[in-house]
Chains A and B, each alone.
Chain A
Amino acid sequence: MDDLELISKVADGDQGAFLALYDRYSSRVYTLILRMMNDEMLAEEVLQETFLRLWSRVSQYIPERGSPLTWLLAIARRTALERLRFESHRPALSDGNEPSSLLESIPEPASTSEEARWRSLYLAVQSLPEEQRKLIELAYYQGLSQSEIAEVLDLPLGTVKTRLRAGMLRLRHQWLENENP
Chain B
Amino acid sequence: MEHVYNIDSQLQLLDAIKANNSVVLKQLYTANYYKIEALVLKNNGSKEHAKDVYQDAFIAVWKNVKNDQFIPENETALQGYLYQIAKNKWMDILRSPSFKKTKTIQHELNVLDKNIDQNGHEKNEEQEFYRKRLEQTMEAFKNLGAPCKELLTAFYFDKASLRDIADKLKIEENSVRTKKYRCMEKLRQLALASKK
Q: Do A and B come from one complex?
A: no
> Which B positions have Cβ atoms within 8 angstroms of A?
none
